[in-house]
Amino acid sequence: MLRKKIYFCNAKIATMLENLSGRELKQQFKQNSTLRIVTICVGSVIALVLAYLAYRQFIWKPANIKSNDAYWVGLNYADKDSTDQAIDELKGAVKKYDGKDGGELAQFVLARQYMSKGEFSKALDELESVNVNDTYIGTYTLGLQGDCYSEMGKHKDAIDLYIDAAERRENEKTTPEYLFKAALCAEKTGDFEQAKELYTRIKDNYLTFSNQKVIDKYIARVNKTKA
């Protein structure tokens, strides 16, 4: 969009200034308000673009690289089951590096710590703010939201999130894993037709899924319950 604006403004100026001498150019600039406005607009747009590029290169990029170390201390506490210490450390990292890669990962780990304490509402608040491009972290972020809703007894909300997680980046691991969780929640809501559909989808398409050998038992269970 910025490139189009700059191109349009430059073209307009070029047309207006074609065949003008230096003296005529000065005269036109003094007398022509449109020329003055367009010139100022072009200069402003270029200045904004340059400022943005400079910010990205010299401020945001170094800070983003540094942020990747931000969550390691908190993660070490989490590995040692020092949940409260991990939360304190990770909250600081999230606040300091919000919007940076390390800050987003810190927020993901922070949500996991809240979940380990059974504080699912707090975990949801963090997970809903996580923004990452990584295939698995992004998928697990949705899946963990489903886990939170499931633990809170909101199984219909959990189903939607599990299916979103399953379909975000289809693969042999997370897709059947979250379809299975969605099917279990569908059973809890009494929607045995949806549960059967999800179990059957796993059976037909994900032969390497860890529960594939017993999937027929789940299908038989919902069929029996329906009957």
Q: How would you class 19 by CB atoms within 10 Å of its CB: exposed for 0-12, middle for 13-18, buried for 19 or more? A: exposed
Find the mean pLDDT for residues 27-34. 60
- Residue 97 phi, psi (nearest 5): -120, 30
**In contact, 210 and 187? CB cutoff 8 Å:** no
* DSSP code, position 1: -
Residue 219 reports pLDDT greater than 60? yes
Tens-digit pLDDT profile for residues 142-157: 999 999 999 999 999 9
pTM of the full structure: 0.72
Higher pLDDT among residues 1 and 27, named by residue: 27
Find the mean pLDDT for residues 156-162. 98
Tens-digit pLDDT profile for residues 61-120: 454 554 466 778 888 888 888 999 999 999 999 998 888 888 899 999 999 999 999 999
Cα–Cα distances in Å, from 146 out to 154, 159, 194, 212?
A: 9, 7, 17, 22
Per-residue pLDDT at 49: 46
Which residues, 6+ apart, have CB-to-CB distance to 37 below 8 Å? Answer: none
68-131 CATH: 1.25.40
CATH topology of domain 133-227: 1.25.40
Consecutive H or E run containing 123: helix 120-127
Residue for token pair 């290169």: 57
DSSP-assigned letters across all residues of 28-71: HHHH-HHHHHHHHHHHHHHHHHHHHHHHIIIIIHHHHHHHTTTT
